[in-house]
Amino acid sequence: MRTKLLLTLLAVVIPAVLLLAPLASGASLHCKGTMTRAGIPSQTVLNLDDIPGHTVQLTITHYDITSTCPELDGSRMVMRTFADFVKGSGSTSTYTTVVTKGGDLIFRKSSGTAQRETRKDGSYESRSHGVWEFTGGTGRFQGIKGNGSWGGRATEEGGWYEWEGDIEFP
């Protein structure tokens, strides 16, 4: 009976220690996840006169986050994007606030490119990709470090992106 109890405890304790040890030591973890657009509360588009279809845009977008790292899974992202597009394609620069489940904040900046395809019926699909890095945090995430890449697509119905990177939790 004691042997069975000891084996059961070891089967639970050892994996938990191995899983949590990198977090305690400040080691870098490789995390992956998704961002799903939850809404666009604000968008300003300025039409420029130099090239047909040239716009600059300032957009605030909300995303729901899933992650292989429990610290980020279930967070909400508020992304502020500046885009310089010609007919929907071009460069983006973002500043993001990640609101974690516990209410602490993580700050991130990113840059990327987007390529938009407009169909004959007027619908579109935009594919984009880029890189990101954390610039700081509050509470238990003060001192967070990390960087990685992202990529995905957007249509009139929504936006879906995958991300991954190496993160050092404080």
pTM of the model: 0.80
Contacts of 8 (CB under 8 A, 6+ apart): none
User: What structural domains and CATH numbers belong to the chain?
Assistant: 28-168 (2.40.350.10)
Each residue's pLDDT, cut to its tens digit, for the chain (170 residues) gives 554 544 444 444 444 433 444 444 467 899 999 999 999 999 999 999 999 999 999 999 999 999 999 999 999 999 999 999 999 999 999 999 999 999 999 999 999 999 999 899 989 999 999 999 999 999 999 999 999 999 999 998 889 999 999 999 99
Q: How far apart are CA 128 and CA 149, in angstroms?
A: 11
